[in-house]
A and B are shown apart, each in its own frame.
Chain A
Amino acid sequence: MRHGKYRFIIGFLAIPLALYGVLVISPFVQDFQISLTDWTGLTPDKHYIGFDNYRKIIHNHLFWQSLWHNVLLLLIVPVVTLALGLFFAFMLNVGGRRKGSASVAGVRGSGAYKIIFFFPQVLSVAVIAILWQQIYNPDPEEGVLNVVLHGIGLGSQTQSWLGDPKLALACIMAVMVWANVGFYVVLFSAGMSSIPTEIYEASLLDGANRTTTFFRVTLPLLSDTVATGWVYMGIIAMDAFAYVQLMSVNNGGPNEKTDVVPLLLFKTAFRDNSQYGLAAAMGVAMLLVTLVFAVLTLRLSRRERIEF
């Protein structure tokens, strides 16, 4: 029996562990090693050059600019996405009125709204990015967004959107928000529907209006879900590779104003003379930033859990 148990354990773990070890863990470890070399991949020999690649990164203006864009994404995209998600979820679940005694109810058709809002979540990021690239088309006569602006009498607001260094990153952020809000509407709706209605009833007996109810009842009881959502959005914002690579002018342009670290890493490794060592060092830097973000998030979100 004992013998059988261990044979079973080994049998069941062997393939998953082997796959995971070879394709995930070993590249992870090798990344540190490669980051200390001047390897270009063209020849098998690599020379250990210590921390030279890291020194190069530190003095690389483009790296800091890309990292800054990631930080901007990290600060703005999750806040806007989660705020809109909470707002819509609150509307859907508490914004309506119903006949009879149900005092707290969602608006009519909330199910349909949830289905539609969720659409972008099932689509590929590639589909979303290319679709929006077409919508942002800079031509005032051809671009959909510009044509729409003309149509509603805002012709003076037409822009070259993705071609404007000041606007391009904001345009990409808007698409990331657009793509992710639906997920949080559904997630927060699920959270809100598990809050007992007695709590709402008690608060409105005490004379609270809906705004107060939202900030004093709903939000504190959802804080765990919001924190999880924050981490998810943070990971998406740290990446942003596909959005920037597919939408931006010249892969991170104009003037590198939309470049992000993952894209810079990709270009350094697979476009610009295969500087694998340098790209690997950027990977390690990415890991550090991600860890800092994770630790900060956990610190900030650690609080007493409210049971209900």
Chain B
Amino acid sequence: MTTDTIDGAPGSAPHKSGSPASDAARWKWRRSEGGVLNAFSHVFLAVWALMVGLPLLWALWSSFKSSGDILSHPLSLPTHLHFENWSHAWTKANMGQYFINTIIVVGFSTVGTMLFGSMAAYVLARFEFPGNRLIYFLFVGGMAFPVVMVLVPLFFVTTNLGIINTLPGLILVYIAYSLPFTVFFMTSFFRTLPTSVAEAALVDGASHTRTFFQIMVPMAKPGIISIGIFNVLGQWNQYLLPLVLNQGDTDKWVLTQGLADLAVQQGYQGDWGGLFAGLSIAMLPVLAVYIVFQRQVQAGLTAGALK
């Protein structure tokens, strides 16, 4: 802020470079619009930041209030910290179990997606063989059609395979539906890597498999991290697929399902504190990870769109 005021004062801020003409133009531009625009920008940006941040904070502080307080004084800060909301949500509403299920499913399916996606992408990017293009377009074509379209047949395919309402089944489905974008992204990534290192390894007698795992995968690490973040978030946030393919035993539900159920139940039971605790349980871990790794997360999620 201080530099702003100094900068704005007439006669200050000597310019180090640039021709006098361009300096004058800049100076004029900044004088006429800079100050106004700066204040204007800050107002809009701050308003949006509050619109984004406050609802999340509100959910968090409501999770420490009694249900009565949430209804009668929805905006007030908690007078007593009702930690029992959290323990109720974790145990009675089963959010703890859902949390663990989600970690299991997302953990295995992300690893599987990255492994199988990179393997397929590597072969498609680096080897000439009949059908290469066809297989590539088969994978990439999957990005274009809506998942909701295949809900009915997918329900029966998983039923017939006996993997419906099971966590391994959910893992396999998540992997399969994450492959199109992963293969697309990793194929173009492997194409950008230099061929000489892999060739040298082959000449030295390494097998193709060994070359892939010991040379190519480490070289492709930036791409793998980007697309890995993309998949972790996508699979963590998945709602439609578990809703249809994991309707059975509540012990196998994932967080989003449990949360949706909690939102419906709370209407009957009036446990609003529990609902907000449940929301916070689903919200805080991702937000915490995001705040720590925000650079990588932003890069990872936007990398796909910039390709």
Contact = CB atoms under 8 A, between A and B. Distances in A.
Contact of A24 (B4, B45, B53, B142): B142
Contact of B149 (A25, A28, A115, A137): A28
A142 B76 CA distance: 12
Contact of A119 (B40, B56, B279, B282): B56
A261 B158 CA distance: 23
Contacts of A207: 25
B229 to A, nearest CB: 10
Contacts of B122: 12
A20 B55 contact: no
A131 B275 CA distance: 10
Interface in A196-210: 201, 204-205, 207, 209-210
Given A99-B13, A107-B38, A131-B55, A16 B116 contact: yes
A30 interface: yes
Contacts of A99: 3, 6-7, 13
A298 to B, nearest CB: 11
B209 A22 contact: no
Given A119-B287, A279-B152, A284-B149, A144 B74 contact: yes
B111 interface: no
Given A13-B135, A88-B48, A283 B154 contact: no
Interface string A169-183: 000000000100111
A76 interface: no
Interface stretch (A61-69, A160-168, A262-270, A300-308): A262-270
B56 to A, nearest CB: 6
B286 A20 contact: no
A238 interface: yes
Nearest to B21: A205
Interface residues of A, number: 108
Contacts of A217: none
A35 B209 CA distance: 43
A116 B53 contact: yes
Given A23-B176, A287-B149, A124 B291 contact: no
Interface of B: 1, 3-4, 6-8, 13, 15-18, 21-23, 25-26, 29-30, 33-35, 37-38, 40-42, 44-45, 48-49, 51-53, 55-56, 58-59, 71-72, 74-75, 116-117, 119-120, 122-123, 127, 129, 135, 138-139, 142, 144-146, 148-158, 161, 172-173, 175-177, 179-180, 183, 207-209, 212, 233, 236-237, 239-240, 244, 255-256, 259-260, 263, 275-276, 279, 282-283, 286-287, 289-291, 294, 297-298, 301-302, 305-306
The 5 closest A-B pairs by CB, nearest first: A95-B41, A27-B153, A23-B176, A283-B149, A30-B153
